[in-house]
Structure 1
Amino acid sequence: MPDQECDREISCLVTTSNYYYITHKASENIHHVQHHYHQYIKYHSKNTQDLSWDFGELCTIKFQACKFRINDVKSGKEEWEVVLTNLDRKNYPLKN
């Protein structure tokens, strides 16, 4: 993000498929999320349903990235804060 205040809408593809990610990462803005049930076997019984990732193999994620200057009360320095949110940019603009 630039070293200035900004408000951007960002979208990207997210996949749980390693094959899709490997074959499309050069041509698409795509991110791979490794979500394998076998990582949780020691914490869940065989009858536990895993609902932490309830999408298909491919989905589009949309979010708003806001960067604004804040004042650090303790040091008196101005610092930058970056916030990612799924709130609607039109209803919740950066400048109010």
Structure 2
Amino acid sequence: MARPKQVITRDVEVRVRFTPLEKKAVALMAEKVGLSLSEYIRQAAFNREMKMRFTTEELNLYKQLHIFRNNFAAIANLVKSRTESTELLIAIIQLKEEMEAHLKKFQ
């Protein structure tokens, strides 16, 4: 039998004072990572890593880059099997590897 899920109640209040500009800056940072202001401040207090969320445009670009990388891999395989042009093959493989390195940054 599974153990019941522990319910965390946050009923202790801590007050923090910000200038209006500081509050706006912190609220914008919280919005960028998709957290509420309270949750963002809690995460920051414990030095937890907060990853920024992607916009829909950024996600679409990431998907396109992934498709391009796959296409260049296929082109490299085709060139490798059909010709002896090592310069072209090296250039294609380098481009594919650069795309892979960039995609790994976002995983």
TM range (shorter): under 0.3
Q: Return the structure number with greater strand share.
A: 1
Q: Larger Rg: 1 or 2?
A: 2
Q: Return the structure number with greater helix share.
A: 2
Structure with the greater relative contact order (CA < 8 A, sep ≥ 6): 1 or 2?
1
